[in-house]
């Protein structure tokens, strides 16, 4: 069975690939392939939600914001700090917030991050390279992306450890026994971050600088009707939206490169292909698998009627593997044109941080490919990947020439 699957995944590739064993990652994709073919739009009675799997249907759900609302959806609605943010709003509030935040995410502000990204990556590499092995998640992707978001939020170096706590969303002294405990803990950490950024905002009003907080603060003072509360909650959202996603992108890239080392070698020879390779990594193994919406009226998706006020899981990860849009979708091919992937969403909520995330990956990945010489998996130490269709690599041990 496993051999047959391996053949299927690679049968139409032009280049011979060293087929790795079917791993946890592919299990979610096998489910998606099955669902796209057999139940592309389906009601899950147990959870009382709908699932949508095909590209066209996912695209419809995430793009038609009149019919599919982002307000009052699970995940955000129980978090005191996220429920009123841009990602959980519909127009007209969404439009107002997006205009404001666009003023901080300018090309100039993003480019001003270049040096910090390079420097923070190099600092970590200098510590790790002599060791010859590392866990790409806990040793590199997690601390690096925490430090990057901290730099963006103008959090001084001595306080960066606080960011690790906020990002994990848990106070490590308190055991989390139930879902309610987890929600309470997230809210407590959100409050700490909120209060902390409030101090930075106060300071930036007195002494403006080039960073995002100053840009947001200036945008606010130019726009009547926007509150400090909105700005502070937006910063909490940035930490949630901008850390784990990039951590996953970096980790997933290394996962793909260890699985298909010839792609890494190709990029070492032709580094100018890195931007397309990043799009293929985003398509093949998205950092963020599912987008949630609520129907505002009775709707029809893929020929199926969905009543009003239903929660829909629109599986971006499945859309990215839809053969209607991506030929031989289970084949990882850094030379394909993957730009139509839905990993950054689409429509009015299209990821505000996409240019930043792409720039971060375009700086960090070449540094890792070049400096972690011949990096590869450690035999007998498999990656730890979350079970089920919601995929996240929690641990990925690698070795390289020190
Ligand atoms: C590879 C990294 C990333 C991925 C895959 C990603 C993915 C996404 C997706 C799918 C959405 C749309 C959610 C929806 O439609 O409900 C989104 C929205 C958003 N992302 Fe990202 N994101 C990434 C990095 C970032 C970064 C680095 C930041 C900022 C530091 C960021 C900030 C945001 C914000 C503020 C929104 C809300 C936009 C809106 O609702 O108008 N993201 N992201």
pLDDT tens by residue, the chain, 402 residues: 233 333 332 223 322 223 333 344 556 788 899 999 999 999 999 889 999 999 999 999 999 999 999 998 987 767 777 888 999 999 999 998 998 888 888 888 899 899 999 999 999 999 999 999 999 999 999 999 999 999 998 888 889 888 888 887 755 555 556 777 777 777 788 888 889 989 888 888 888 877 788 888 877 776 655 688 888 889 889 988 999 999 999 999 999 999 999 999 999 999 999 999 999 999 999 999 999 999 999 999 999 999 999 999 999 999 999 999 999 999 999 999 999 999 999 999 999 999 999 999 999 999 999 999 999 999 999 899 886 666 789 999 999 998
- Check residue 192 and give its pLDDT: 87
Q: What residue's CA is closest to ligand 1, atom 21? A: 351
Angle at 117 between CA 158 and CA 114, to 5 degrees: 125
Angle at 200 between CA 198 and CA 203, to 5 degrees: 110
Site to substitute for ligand 1 among 88, 245, 341, 363, most atoms within 8 A of C-beta: 245
Site to substitute for ligand 1 among 353, 359, 363, 390, most atoms within 8 A of C-beta: 353
CATH architecture, domain 2-377: Orthogonal Bundle (1.10)
Quote the distance between the C-alpha of residue 145 and its chain's center. 11
Tokens found for residue 314? 């629109």
- Check residue 277 and give its pLDDT: 98
Do the Cβ atoms of 35 and 52 come closer than 8 Å?
no
- Check residue 84 and give its pLDDT: 86
Distance 220 CA to ligand 1 centre (A): 21
Each domain of the chain, given as residue ranges in start order, spans 2-377
Q: Identify whether 300 is preceded by a cis peptide bond (ω within 30 of 0).
A: no
Q: Is 380 left (phi over 0), alpha (psi -120 to 50) or beta?
A: left
Distance 238 CA to ligand 1 centre (A): 8
In angstroms, the Cα distances linking 287 to 120, 150, 205 are 21, 20, 35
Could you tell me where the beta strands, DSSP code E, fall in 259-371? 290-295, 299-301, 304-306, 311-315
| Chain length of the chain | 402
d(CA 293, CA 311): 6
Distance 316 CA to ligand 1 centre (A): 13
């Amino acid at each position: 069975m496993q051999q047959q699957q391996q053949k299927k995944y690679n049968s139409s590739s032009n280049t011979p690939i060293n087929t790795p064993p079917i791993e946890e990652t592919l299990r979610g994709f096998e489910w998606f392939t099955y669902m796209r073919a057999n139940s592309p739009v389906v009601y899950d009675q147990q959870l009382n939600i709908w699932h949508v799997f095909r590209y066209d249907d996912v695209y419809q759900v995430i793009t038609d914001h009149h019919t599919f609302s982002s307000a009052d959806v699970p995940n955000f609605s129980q978090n005191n700090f996220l429920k009123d943010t841009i990602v959980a709003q519909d127009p007209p509030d969404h439009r107002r917030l997006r205009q404001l935040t666009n003023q901080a995410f300018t090309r100039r502000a993003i480019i001003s991050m270049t040096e910090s990204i390079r420097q923070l990556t190099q600092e970590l590499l200098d510590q790790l390279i002599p060791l010859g092995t590392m866990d790409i998640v806990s040793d590199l992707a997690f601390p690096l992306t925490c430090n990057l978001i901290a730099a963006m939020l103008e959090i001084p170096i001595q306080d960066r450890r606080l960011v690790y706590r906020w990002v994990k969303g848990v106070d490590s002294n308190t055991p989390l026994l139930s879902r309610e405990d987890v929600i309470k803990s997230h809210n407590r950490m959100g409050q700490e971050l909120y209060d902390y950024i409030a101090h930075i905002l106060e300071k930036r009003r007195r002494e403006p600088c080039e960073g995002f907080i100053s840009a947001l603060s200036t945008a606010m003072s130019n726009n009547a009707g926007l509150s400090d509360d909105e700005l502070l909650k937006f910063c909490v959202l940035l930490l949630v939206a901008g850390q784990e996603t990039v951590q996953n992108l970096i980790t997933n890239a290394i996962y793909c490169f260890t699985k298909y080392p010839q792609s890494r070698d190709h990029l070492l020879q032709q580094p100018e292909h890195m931007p397309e390779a990043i799009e293929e990594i985003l398509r093949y193994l998205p950092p963020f698998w599912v987008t949630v919406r609520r129907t505002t009226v009775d709707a029809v998706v893929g020929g199926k009627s969905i009543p009003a006020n239903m929660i829909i899981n629109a599986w971006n990860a499945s859309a990215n593997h839809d053969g209607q849009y991506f030929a031989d979708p289970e084949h990882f091919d850094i030379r394909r044109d993957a730009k139509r992937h839905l990993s950054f969403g689409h429509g009015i909520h299209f990821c505000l941080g996409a240019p930043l995330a792409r720039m971060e990956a375009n700086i960090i990945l070449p540094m890792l490919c070049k400096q972690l010489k011949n990096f590869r998996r450690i035999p007998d130490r498999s990656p730890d990947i979350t079970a089920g269709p919601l995929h996240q690599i929690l641990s990925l041990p690698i070795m390289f020439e020190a």
